[in-house]
Amino acid sequence: MPRRRTSKSATARRDQDLVDPEWVAKLSDRSLEEARGAVEEAQKDTPFVRTIDLAHQQAGRDFYAQIRAPFELYALVRLLRPKHVVEAGVSSGVSSAYFLKALNQNHFGTLHSIDLPTRQKGATFREKEDSPVALPPGKSSGWAVPPHLRAGWDLRIGPSQELLPSLVSELDQVDLFLHDSLHTFEHATFEFTTVDPKMPSHGVLLADNTAWLGGALDRFAASKGVRALYRRGMDLGGFRKP
């Protein structure tokens, strides 16, 4: 599950990366002003950003692969007010933390997460031998998620191929889905087709690291009669179901 690495300061990297409220506005079908407000709400909570950065540093992860658009994920949840958010791929839990924070602010909705963890092989991280998302010794999936956000979090450990169909069958709808697990055309397509029957009109489907998906997101979006939209400067994309 390769992802981009953060710089030594994840906070500095996020300050340098241009956020994309226009992308949020299009996916949520809300005004640009509303999208900017929701993104800025996440940006201004610097203690929360520092808490997640500190968790990585304390685990010996000055460099760690994680999603680089947490503010946009937060904004989408704030604007869409989903009942059920589903993500496949957790690792340290940066995306999970921002999903949970937004749901907490909404006072509504549940995050359902699936992760098949990869573990670090030795006591210290070795770039040439370990996956960039390998769990540090003694850590479990979502280890960077602040404890106060964990209540009510539905975190399931195991292969998406086994867990996602059963999870989806339990839910009446999937309002927002994020693919960030095994990045192959076949696996991404499996996840998209699994959640699609429960995704209502105007639900949002997202995928990270789409450069490794062989066009799976674009093809699936086209099958729905829409075009995938990509976050500025990244291969994080998604579409709003018509």
pLDDT tens profile 29-67:
999 999 999 999 999 999 999 999 999 888 877 665 567
| SS3 of residue 20 by DSSP | coil
User: Alpha-carbon distance 206 to 94, whole Å?
Assistant: 16
User: Alpha-carbon distance 149 to 21, whole Å?
Assistant: 25
Q: Class of 10-240 per CATH? A: alpha beta
- Is 232 buried (19+), middle (13-18) or exposed (0-12) by CB count in 10 A? middle
The confidence score (pLDDT) of residue 4 equals: 41
Closest CA to 198 of 176, 154, 168: 168
71: CB partners within 8 A, 6+ apart: 14, 19, 39, 42, 43, 98
User: What are the extents of the domains in the chain?
Assistant: 10-240
Mean confidence (pLDDT) of the chain = 90
The confidence score (pLDDT) of residue 7 equals: 36
Q: Model-level pTM? A: 0.91
230: CB partners within 8 A, 6+ apart: 23, 210, 236, 237
pLDDT digits (tens, 9 = 90+) for 77-103: 999 999 999 999 999 999 999 999 999
Contact 191, 220 (CB under 8 A): no
